[in-house]
Structure 1
Amino acid sequence: MINHIRRTNRVTRVEYGLMLIFGTLCIAAAFAPLEESMRIATVGTLFGFTAGLWVSHLVQVLQRAAETAKADVVG
Structure 2
Amino acid sequence: MRSTLAQTITRLDLDTRIQYGLMLLFGGLCLLAAAAPLGPLTKAVVVSALFGFTGGLWVSHLVQIIQRAAETAQPEAEQ
Matched positions, count: 75
Task: Report 1:24-35 matches (<5 A).
Answer: 24-35=28-39
Q: CA deviation at 1:3?
A: 1.1
Q: How does 1:36-55 map to 2 (within 5 A)?
A: 36-55=40-59
User: Does residue 2 of the first structure (1) align with residue 6 of the second (2)?
Assistant: yes
Length-normalised TM-score, structure 2: 0.90
CA distance in 1, matches of 2:51, 2:66: 23
Greater shift, 16-25 or 4-13, is seen at: 4-13
Match of residue 78 from structure 2:
74
2:28, 2:55 → 1: CA distance? 13
TM-score, L = length of structure 1:
0.95
- C-alpha root-mean-square deviation of aligned residues, in Å? 0.9
